[in-house]
Structure 1
């Protein structure tokens, strides 16, 4: 069965928060667009990794959970009925400024005048600890790398492994509902903001969190995928057994640009250099925004990704509408177009 090519003005690779806002900005400028993402749902890392984790640096929201932010961004583009190609990644990109052809892993072809790469850190997955029998515990949910439903951990005995922000934040959050929280790290010192470390110490003093340092993961004990205990060890070989139902290892993500790295555009260490005023990459007609983009002074904040999406959309307008001058108008006077 032959799948008909999709014709659009802008192909947006990614469907995270930055991509969703870029779709809004494109449609505000009457640029048709389509969202393409390897995940089977929108939201990117924001939805996949921390849907219930509060985000504190989104303007006008003192705190908003990742899933709620995605829902509001989706509502914002709802009037435009933006097509979404989910569960497939872009394998090939060919063409030139004004005339690109993209082919996805399902064989879908997209013909676009311009391309916005909003792929976050690229394909991502957790750094898994090298433990025997890990697969069985992952399948049963006894070992998890992301907290999708905080309530699932009510009354559980939890080992949180790691020394960074994710480990600290989730240890604090889960200590409010879990029976026991062990915070495991190979060094006595943790990497976190002074306020966060002070809150950890307060929960330790209250008996809600127990620090287990300096230890690292050594073995898992249980049967049939049910975890009974986590064995930890010091560098000197001293071991300790922690009775636990769940292990949450927060050792960061392994990231990979995947096929993007083969598309004849400059990249360095899984990021793509861009011109800051337009967000254009070294391949004319393609643009990168969000975490995947880099330039002097870059801040990896969602709010900066929003700004980058707006700049990319404005830079794309003359590619799609070369004979139409863009008269910038505020949305308060322009309103939301009824169609792109």
Structure 2
């Protein structure tokens, strides 16, 4: 884009919740910043994977959908007119603390004095079940890995497979819209918040959800991409067919740091170890926050990414203004700086 700057104080890679809040924190400290993301819109997984999924652990928000959370973060940074470079994947990072050069797959380059990596799960995609003929049902939408519009599932016979938070949350969220909802898992134990487990028990008792345990996915029935049933099998080899219009397998995301892994910093199983005091990586001047960052006691919660964003921004300030002491002030005292 023509008005995209050639240089900035802080390059923020990733425009999900942590990246957006990092932009706000940098702007509050009068640090110029740029948001860069490979996706065509800001929001990361919240926008791309679950815009209508309620999030319950954001402070002061009893429940907020992913898209609404991103819209609120956008409003928060709107006064600062922060430049963003979307549909660009950062391929290269060279230089040193105070003088980095970033290059993208679209041929753009940016000079920055510090870098914040807020890349979430990195390059992410679903773990797909090994079922014959899966591709045709994916193409038709009969098998989906993300729920973008709950209205699309109204009066559908839905099979949800998985035993973690995503499977539980979507089962509870879709139970009122579905004509029938099955929850398939290989054992009668689910990994979820105690309140979600309590709600699941209530929904099962009320006949809103049928637990199919201990079973695993075994096959798909239908023709020309139209799903009519899902075969499941138990540990003894007994099979059962569930009448279904839609299959939603939630087996987690396959993540990949991509080019980030080649930038010379320490990595650990698709995450980046950081100092818990300031979120700096092993490469001086480069910081990591959100799901991509790891340290002892790390919790993969959006709220922790927000805290890390603030710590990283404050740690970067002396890199940009080495002669200027930073006196911490609450936002209630200093307000929002003029653009």
Class of the TM-score when normalised by the shorter of the 2 chains = over 0.9
Q: Distance in 1 between matches of 2:168 and 2:179?
A: 17
Partner of 1:49: 49
SS in 2 for 1:39: coil
Moved more, 11-20 or 200-209: 200-209
Does 2:13 align with 1:13? Answer: yes
Q: How well do the aligned residues superpose, as a CA RMSD in angstroms?
A: 1.7
Partner of 1:39: 39
Q: Is the 8 A contact 2:4 2:83 kept in 1?
A: no
Q: Distance in 1 between matches of 2:4 and 2:172?
A: 51
SS in 2 for 1:297: coil
Q: Distance in 2 between matches of 1:78 and 1:187?
A: 47
Partner of 2:196: 196
SS in 2 for 1:199: helix
Residue 324 (structure 1) shift? 2.4
Q: Distance in 2 between matches of 1:290 and 1:66?
A: 16
Residue 4 (structure 1) shift? 8.3
**1:167-204 Cα distance to aligned partner (Å, 9 max, x none):** 11211221111100011111232223343233222222
Residue 72 (structure 1) shift? 0.3
Where in structure 2 are the equivalents of 1:199-210 lying within 5 Å? 199-210=199-210
Partner of 2:30: 30
Q: Is the 8 A contact 1:5 1:109 kept in 2?
A: no
Q: Distance in 1 between matches of 2:175 and 2:277?
A: 45
Q: Distance in 2 between matches of 1:278 and 1:263?
A: 20
* TM-score (ref. length: structure 2): 0.95
Partner of 2:236: 236
Partner of 1:225: 225
Residue 205 (structure 1) shift? 2.2
**1:86-110 Cα distance to aligned partner (Å, 9 max, x none):** 1221111000011000111111111
Does 2:133 align with 1:133? Answer: yes
Where in structure 2 are the equivalents of 1:297-316 lying within 5 Å? 297-316=297-316
Residue 3 (structure 1) shift? 11
Partner of 2:112: 112
Q: Distance in 1 between matches of 2:283 and 2:199?
A: 47
Partner of 2:83: 83
Does 2:149 align with 1:149? Answer: yes
Moved more, 33-42 or 154-163: 33-42
Residue 35 (structure 1) shift? 0.7
Q: Distance in 2 between matches of 1:14 and 1:24?
A: 14
Q: Is the 8 A contact 1:5 1:108 kept in 2?
A: no
Residue 49 (structure 1) shift? 2.1
Q: Distance in 1 between matches of 2:170 and 2:336?
A: 39
Partner of 2:60: 60
- Given the superposition, is the C-alpha separation of residues 3 and 334 from structure 1 closer, same or farther in structure 2, using an over 3 Å criterion? closer
SS in 1 for 2:120: coil
Moved more, 198-207 or 107-116: 198-207
**1:199-229 Cα distance to aligned partner (Å, 9 max, x none):** 2222222221111122211111122211111
Moved more, 319-328 or 91-100: 319-328
Q: Which runs of 5+ in 2 are unaligned?
A: none
Q: Is the 8 A contact 2:31 2:317 kept in 1?
A: yes
Q: Distance in 1 between matches of 2:332 and 2:67?
A: 27
Q: Distance in 2 between matches of 1:181 and 1:131?
A: 20
Residue 234 (structure 1) shift? 2.0
Partner of 2:336: 336
Partner of 1:325: 325
Q: Distance in 1 between matches of 2:78 and 2:198?
A: 42
**1:43-90 Cα distance to aligned partner (Å, 9 max, x none):** 111222221122122111111111111100001001111111112211
**1:2-44 Cα distance to aligned partner (Å, 9 max, x none):** 9987211100010010110000011111111111111111111
**1:153-177 Cα distance to aligned partner (Å, 9 max, x none):** 1100000001112111211221111
Partner of 1:249: 249
Moved more, 45-54 or 11-20: 45-54
SS in 2 for 1:208: coil
- Given the superposition, is the C-alpha separation of residues 327 and 190 from structure 1 closer, same or farther in structure 2, using an over 3 Å criterion? closer
**1:254-311 Cα distance to aligned partner (Å, 9 max, x none):** 1111111111111111121112222111111111111111222222221121111111
